[in-house]
Chain A
Amino acid sequence: MSRRVAVTGIGIVAPGGIGVPAFWDLLTSGRTATRGITFFDPSGLRSQIAAECDFDPAAHGLDAEQIARADRYIQFALVAGEEAIRDSGLDLAAENPWRVGVSLGTAVGGTTRLEHDYVLVSHGGQRWDVDHREAGPHLHRAFAPSTLASAVAERFEARGPVQTVSTGCTSGLDAVGYAFHTIEEGRADVCIAGASDSPISPITMACFDAIKATSPSNDDPAHASRPFDADRNGFVMGEGGAVLVLEELEHARARGAHVYCEIGGYATFGNAYHMTGLTAEGLEMARAIEDALGQARLDGTAIDYVNAHGSGTLQNDRHETAAVKRALGAHAYETCMSSIKSMVGHSLGAIGAIEVVACALALAHQVVPPTANYETPDPECDLDYVPRVARERRLRNVLSVGSGFGGFQSAVVMTLPREKTL
């Protein structure tokens, strides 16, 4: 298979910045978008903080019917998709729609609306025999997770392979990876890829409270997400959506498209260890990195930047540091690694795609976004985590990794097109 896959458009809805310019500005400023929850009254919860999007769907071009039908996470994908398509310069009307696919990830899909309508039909959690007459008209669309890819495919008239990927917190990386393989294997020429989640609701906050995975730093939300810092105490919930236009490289070149980078390789493995736990060794993530590097025909020493999963839990930070050392060897100390979750929180399934967009921008600008809030080193985590300040650096090949509940360990390698690296 000699088909190569290019990223030709990107779009994003993220906390602290809707649209690519605002997002990149946030990432390079080192500011954080984490704050006290405003969507509902969080009192009673252990973690009362989140990275929320200040998102007005009408201001981003969605009409009243779209807003009523589409759950918030789907609105994110529609708006990010619009930006990505515009950015790519692709004239979808001129494309063969059967050769255009969609691959979008989400971890919890329509949970927010499912919870909203549940409260109505159960009369506030009072009855098991719920009253169907109280349900809203769009509930079935929230129930079906495939509504995400379906809504985006309908909007952009894609008729090729359309799928929603839901592998917990690696959904975004995996959705991009599936899209990459779809084009590489010749099943589509263009794929609208990415992920979206809007999980900031009582049930999702409560279920992570129950396992103490989220940060309880309610009195200092701006500094609550502290990946790799010795004082980290859990992740900060986020939300958002990111969409990329992936395109077969010759297809992109034939129309003179701007190519941000290529997707060089993607792999995922299970750790077969624990639904929420991670090993100290990072063997399976290392394997995913090695496999993705192999597909890209790169040695580990070629990696100029690692975009970390970096959720800010003790076990993640140590697992991931070990995995990167295992896969890159001594080069792990030469390259650099940062976590944008320090700034935009952890938007579950969406974040993997948001991080792929961050990597595309890092390559485009030759700038590495920092790990905000990183102050006190953890002796077990001794790599260069790009503390607090963005850094100019020559970047040709970057790696993005992720871990998810269920044991998923994924890696995506992104490279500048060869003619650009000269």
Chain B
Amino acid sequence: MSASHARRAAVTGIGVVAPNGTSTDAFWKATREGVSVIDPITREGCEGMPLRVAGQVRDFDPPSAIEERYLVQTDRFTHFAMAAADRALEEAGLGRADTDAAPFSVGVVTAAGSGGGEFGQRELQQLWGKGSRFVGPYQSIAWFYAASTGQISIRGGFKGPCGVIAADEAGGLDALAHAARGVRRGTDVIVAGATEAPLAPYSMVCQLGYEELSTVAEPDRAYRPFTSAACGFVPAEGGAMVVVEAEESARDRGAPVRALVAGHAATFTGASRWEESRQGLARAIQGALEEAGCAPEEIDVVFADALGVPEADRAEVLALADALGPHAGRVPVTAPKTGVGRGLAAAAVLDVAAAVLAMEQGVLPPTPNVFDVCHDLDLVTGRARATETRTALVLSRGLMGSNSALVLRRGAADAS
């Protein structure tokens, strides 16, 4: 189809519900300032867990954001998703009147790595503690991975292509790329992203088997990638949704094109085989650059995966060198997720949100809690760095073996 190369996929709105801010402004301010919000887990039922700290969304009041009838039938991860979608659409200037006029032109794509864990645990407790007739009518639609896409579609009246990537961490980027391809295939708007809520007691137990998980109890020492003290990653909840829109659709309605989703590629190198992820990530970067028609030297900033496991960090640094050549030693690299934790598939979507804002503001956010970098890497540490930024590369790897790279171009008026 000839449309596939003619139509470019833009980002026209961002909605964030993150541990460090539940609005785009609050998120960006905290991200830019390098505020770390990782802190002890206070969720009921998590007291005896060997996992002590996480990035928790504290400043979010579901009833003020979501109607009661949707609240009762959904888990926390879907509350985040619905609220983030609302904010993204609002930023994009897309109101109900716009989308109702062409419902098949608006789709929804999410990545989901954990599903409705808190809701599911409650219903499992009803079933096993009391009996099957105590299982409520919403278990069948709240626990499964498709809940957020379905509810956003229904709540907004969006009848376009709807999809769900049930993903490891890299799936956040894959979902945005899936949305961008949907736009290239002809859908005008796709609300896309990921939110996660994996901090209910049983969900936490489910993650304890990951040897990459940090069990350090001091919040500022628990997640320090690219340092000799790297000891794993800290989990998190929250996430972001973005409006991915055909550039021409945005221009037609006078909406600002904030960034372009220019290129993406994904590879697989096996669960926890971090050394092999070097080659997989390098190939993903090369594929994304190729699709974007972008030379390595054009990359102005890299948002790193930054797992915080020594061999994984080393593999990422080497992958950058393999894919970007000498430019890898010069390009600024950042990992703001060290201040909020790593919320499964949502982490990379927050990085995309930060990358779009960084390009708009000409400011690279720092990597909180990380100081003595033990790799040949220009990691942005301490304070934000002001610099003209036109092109960003966002990287993500998953615990189940996926590697993904996404190239974003600044969209602003200077592109037209």
Contacts and interface: CB of A to CB of B under 8 A. Distances in A.
Contacts of A274: 154
A150 B128 contact: no
Nearest to B161: A268
Given A1-B4, A154-B401, A272 B157 contact: yes
B129 A126 contact: yes
A394 interface: no
Interface stretch (B130-138, B328-336, B373-381): B130-138
A406 B398 contact: no
A51 interface: no
Residue of A131, A146, A153, A211 with highest tally of chain B CB at under 10 A: A146
Contacts of A148: 166
Contacts of B4: 1, 185
B49 A132 contact: yes
Among B107, B133, B146, B267, find the residue whose CB has the most chain A CB atoms closer than 10 A: B146
Interface in A161-211: 161-168, 174, 178, 181, 185, 187, 202-203, 205-211
Interface string B363-377: 000000000000000
Contacts of A174: 163
B150 A275 contact: yes
A166 B146 contact: yes
A275 B202 contact: no
B203 A143 contact: yes
B205 A270 contact: no
A24 interface: no
Interface stretch (B16-24, B167-175, B223-231): B167-175
B154 A144 contact: no
A270 B150 contact: yes
A18 interface: no
Interface string B135-168: 1110111011111011101101111111111111
A178 B205 CA distance: 32
A130 B165 CA distance: 29
Contacts of B136: 210
A164 B128 contact: no
Contacts of A388: none
A181 B401 contact: no
Interface stretch (B109-117, B251-259, B353-361): B109-117
Interface in B159-209: 159-168, 171, 174, 178, 181, 201-209
A305 B154 CA distance: 31
Interface in B260-307: 265-271, 280, 283
Given A145-B115, A267-B161, A118 B104 contact: no
Interface of A: 1, 44-45, 98, 102, 106-109, 114-115, 117-119, 121-122, 124-126, 128-132, 135, 137-150, 153-154, 158-168, 174, 178, 181, 185, 187, 202-203, 205-211, 213, 267-276, 284, 287, 404-408
Interface of B: 1, 4, 44-50, 73, 103-104, 107-108, 112-115, 120-121, 123-133, 135-137, 139-141, 143-147, 149-151, 153-154, 156-168, 171, 174, 178, 181, 201-210, 265-271, 280, 283, 398-402
Given A267-B161, A406-B164, 9 more contacts: A114-B120, A122-B202, A129-B48, A131-B48, A145-B167, A167-B146, A209-B135, A270-B108, A270-B150
26 contacts: A107-B144, A117-B206, A118-B128, A122-B124, A125-B124, A130-B45, A135-B206, A144-B400, A145-B115, A150-B271, A161-B266, A164-B165, A166-B145, A166-B164, A185-B181, A202-B127, A202-B132, A209-B135, A270-B150, A270-B153, A272-B103, A272-B159, A287-B104, A405-B146, A406-B146, A406-B164
